[in-house]
C-alpha cells in the first residue's frame, strides 16, 4: 500500500519524507489555507521534497474552469496530480484532463456509484472519505470495500483507490486488509503508526541491559573482529 501525507505543512512533509517510506502527498484548499502560504510555491516545494504524486486541487466549479486550472497546475511539476471534486462538472473535467494525459485524483467520494463514474472518466485516483462518513454514522470502510469489489470486476479500470479522511491507525489497518492501493494520512496518524508502549518499554530494557556487557562499543568490536578475520 502506498503512503501519502495529507497536509500542506512542509515541516511535516520533510519529517515524514525523512523516514524513507513516503510515496506522495495530498492537499486540498482547506489544508493550503491553514498554512497561509502561496499555493503554487507550496505545491512546487512539496513536489521537490516528495518526488512522487502530489495532489493539487482545482477550485473552479464548472468543468471549463477546472480544466483550465488543471492544465496549469499540471505544468508546475511532473509530480502534480490534479484533484477534482466528484460532481458532474468534475467528471466532465476528469474525462478531458485524463484524455490529455493529466492525472486526476477525483475527491469527495461518498458512495460507490460515484467511484464507478470516476473510473469511467479515466481518473488516476478516487478518494473515498472514510472519516467524514464515520462522523455521520455510516461505516466509511464499507465504501472502500464496495469500490474495490466493483473495480475488481472491471480490470480495464486502472483507477487507484486512495483512502482519505483518515482519523486513526485502525483506518490504516482496515484499508490495508481490504487491499486499498493508497492511503493518505494526517501527520498525527502517520506518527502514531509506529508507536507502541511495549516497543518503547522493550527498547528501554535492552538499552539498560546492554550497559552490563563487558564491551558496549559494537562498532569498534565488530571492526576489530572483521579485521582479525580478514573480512
Segment contacting ligand G3P by CB under 6 A, of 16-24, 64-72, 126-134, 210-218:
126-134
Joined together, the cell numbers standing for residue 89 give 462538472
Whole-number Å distance between alpha carbons of 16 and 42 = 16
Is residue 132 at the binding interface for ligand G3P, with CB under 6 A as the rule?
yes
Is residue 105 at the binding interface for ligand G3P, with CB under 6 A as the rule?
no
Strand-pair partners of 212: none
Nearer to ligand G3P, 64 or 173 (CB): 173
Which residue out of 83, 92, 120, 212 is catalytically annotated? 83
Single residue of 26, 94, 114, 159 touching ligand G3P by CB under 6 A: 26
Beta carbon of residue 79, minimum distance to ligand G3P (angstroms, whole number)? 17
For 228, the 3-state DSSP assignment is helix
Segment contacting ligand G3P by CB under 6 A, of 88-96, 114-122, 127-135, 140-148:
127-135
Residue 49 near residue 10 (C-beta atoms within 8 A): yes
Beta carbon of residue 156, minimum distance to ligand G3P (angstroms, whole number)? 27
* Strands in the chain per DSSP E: 2-6, 24-26, 54-57, 80-85, 104-109, 125-128, 160-163, 182-185
Is 83 a catalytic site residue? Answer: yes
Strand-pair partners of 84: 106
Nearer to ligand G3P, 37 or 132 (CB): 132
Is residue 7 at the binding interface for ligand G3P, with CB under 6 A as the rule?
no
Is residue 9 at the binding interface for ligand G3P, with CB under 6 A as the rule?
no
Segment contacting ligand G3P by CB under 6 A, of 110-118, 129-137, 138-146, 203-211:
129-137
Whole-number Å distance between alpha carbons of 148 and 152 = 6
Residue 184 near residue 163 (C-beta atoms within 8 A): yes
Residue 94 near residue 67 (C-beta atoms within 8 A): no
- Residues acting as catalytic residues: 83
Residues that bind ligand G3P (CB under 6 A): 6, 26, 28, 129, 131-132, 164-165, 184
Amino acid at each position: 500500500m502506498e503512503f501519502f501525507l495529507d497536509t500542506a505543512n512542509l515541516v511535516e512533509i520533510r519529517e515524514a519524507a525523512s523516514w524513507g517510506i513516503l510515496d506522495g502527498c495530498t492537499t486540498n484548499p482547506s489544508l493550503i489555507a491553514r498554512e497561509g502560504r502561496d499555493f503554487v510555491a507550496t505545491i512546487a516545494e512539496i513536489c521537490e521534497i516528495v518526488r512522487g504524486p502530489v495532489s493539487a486541487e482545482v477550485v473552479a466549479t464548472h468543468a471549463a474552469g477546472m480544466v483550465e486550472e488543471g492544465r496549469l497546475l499540471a505544468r508546475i511539476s511532473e509530480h502534480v496530480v490534479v484533484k477534482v471534486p466528484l460532481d458532474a462538472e468534475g467528471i466532465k473535467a476528469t474525462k478531458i484532463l485524463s484524455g490529455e494525459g493529466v492525472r486526476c485524483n477525483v475527491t469527495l467520494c461518498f458512495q460507490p456509484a460515484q467511484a464507478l463514474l470516476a473510473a469511467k472518466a479515466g481518473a488516476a485516483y478516487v478518494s473515498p472519505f472514510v472519516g467524514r462518513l464515520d462522523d455521520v454514522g455510516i461505516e466509511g470502510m464499507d465504501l472502500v470495500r464496495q469500490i474495490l469489489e466493483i473495480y475488481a470486476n472491471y480490470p480495464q479500470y486502472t483507477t487507484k483507490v486512495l483512502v482519505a479522511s483518515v482519523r486513526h491507525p485502525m483506518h490504516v489497518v482496515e484499508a490495508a486488509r481490504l487491499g486499498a492501493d493508497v492511503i493518505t494520512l494526517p501527520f498525527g496518524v502517520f506518527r502514531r503508526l509506529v508507536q507502541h508502549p511495549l516497543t518503547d518499554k522493550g527498547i528501554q530494557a535492552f538499552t539498560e541491559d546492554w550497559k552490563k556487557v563487558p564491551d558496549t562499543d559494537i562498532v569498534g568490536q565488530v571492526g576489530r573482529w572483521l579485521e582479525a578475520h580478514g573480512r
